[in-house]
Amino acid sequence: NREVKPTCADGTAMQCGRVGSRRLFEIGITFEWFLFFCINKSWIIIRIIKNSCIFAVMNPLRGFLVWLGRIHRCRGFGIQSPTDYSFVRYVINEHWPYYAYEQLKVDDWLTSKLGRLYFRLSNWRQPSAMVPDDYQRYWQAGCHHTVFTPIINKVELARVTIEDRTTWDALIQKCNQQSVIVVEGIWRDWERWHEMVVDSRTVITYDLYYCGIVFFDRTRYKRNYKINF
């Protein structure tokens, strides 16, 4: 008894799914090229309009273009260190809907975005003491036992703006291997941020565009990560 292969409408033998598989492969390749095209075009668009008066200040449209330009750096993609990957994946880019988010919600999108990050940082670091600032309620929500005082003996977790050199210099003198400093607004002064990255006292740095996160653990190799946040 011979096995008879089913035929197509034109009388040719069916290829047992090979044609369909090849078609899916071709679609996959086409989609990959489409993504590659979109990512590269996004860089061109951003470079053309980044000096426009519309983008002189931070706003949701500019934020979307920043996200689009860094789409290939999402959720720790390409990070080899398990420790650094875990920090990016489960602290910086954690999307778990914490109940505290509703209580901390504000109208300004950037304040809310940074505030949620600070909440997660505080929840992860669990600092015993911090210097009070404009985001104190976010830090406190992340770690209820944190005491806020203008004078600290050592830095566990702190925040400084990119323009505030005096505070940065004062904080960095009190840093140890467990210290973490958030530098807010690095997009306003990339030259200053680069100085911080190459500073011999800093070790691991994360560029989130809206802010930078600096670690001082000298047991690690010096490294800077650009993250899509």
Which runs of consecutive H residues, i.e. helices, occur in 50-108? 60-69, 82-87, 100-104
- Single-letter residue type at 8: C
The rounded distance, in Å, linking the Cα atoms of 132 and 25 is: 56
Check residue 16 and give left, alpha or beta (phi > 0: left; psi -120 to 50: alpha).
left
Question: pLDDT tens-digit profile of 76-129?
Answer: 667 778 999 999 999 998 888 888 989 998 989 899 999 999 999 999 999 999
Question: pLDDT tens-digit profile of 128-171?
Answer: 999 999 999 999 999 999 999 999 999 999 999 999 999 999 99
The rounded distance, in Å, linking the Cα atoms of 127 and 137 is: 14
- Single-letter residue type at 34: F
Question: pLDDT tens-digit profile of 184-220?
Answer: 999 999 999 999 999 999 999 999 999 999 999 999 9
- Single-letter residue type at 15: Q
The rounded distance, in Å, linking the Cα atoms of 85 and 122 is: 18
